[in-house]
Amino acid sequence: MAKVVNKKSSVLAASAPGKVPKKGAVKVADESGSRNAPLINIGIDREDRAAIAEGLSRVLADTYTLYLTTHNFHWNVTGPHFNSLHAMFMGQYTELWGSTDVLAERIRALGHYAPGSYAEFSKIATVPDVPASPPKAMEMVRILVKGHETVSRIAREFIPVAAEAGDDPTADLLTARCTVHDQTAWMLRSLLED
């Protein structure tokens, strides 16, 4: 007897163009809900909502990791650029902190639980954890440039998945996040130029 394969599910599981692969085959987007609540009917099918929640979970994990790194650098920066970097890092970590709530609430609106522990984030984040020993000020800047560019790449990779599913709110959210991360990376990179 021939095995019947759900084409849509197998496409989501593969690394097809426009699909965000799971990092290390870790499932992050567990579906929420109960028997008492009506089924979600927002015009995006269940498999697409799961794929979108998976991508948003990765963006959330990277954003939270970058938030922690930026906050750490705010606390630990030293040297002749202390005042300007201390203030700049505060503005950046404040923006990142606010964005984590927006990302997590979008995951919930799609009917999935948002990851929210260090253990979960460490499994799915692409942005490396903050260095154990605080680096010099300009190395902090370099690390943050790379972090913002990484989050932007991950978010940008996933915009077509949301758009293809007709999830304009998520596509718009990810586009806005790319704008913030691209601009922040540019501003930080400018500090490193001669």
Structural domains of the chain sorted by starting position, each given as residue range(s) with its CATH number in brackets? 42-192 (1.20.1260.10)
Give residue-wise pLDDT tens across range 28-62: 555 666 567 778 888 999 999 999 999 999 999 99
Dihedral sign (CA 42, 166, 164, 158) = negative
Give residue-wise pLDDT tens across range 93-138: 999 999 999 999 999 999 999 999 999 999 999 999 999 999 999 9
Residue 157 sits at the vertex; the CA angle it makes with 152 and 158, to the nearest 5 degrees, is: 105
Contact 123, 90 (CB under 8 A): no
Give residue-wise pLDDT tens across range 128-169: 999 999 999 999 999 999 999 999 999 999 999 999 999 999
Dihedral sign (CA 136, 141, 142, 148) = positive
Per-residue model confidence (pLDDT) at position 41: 81
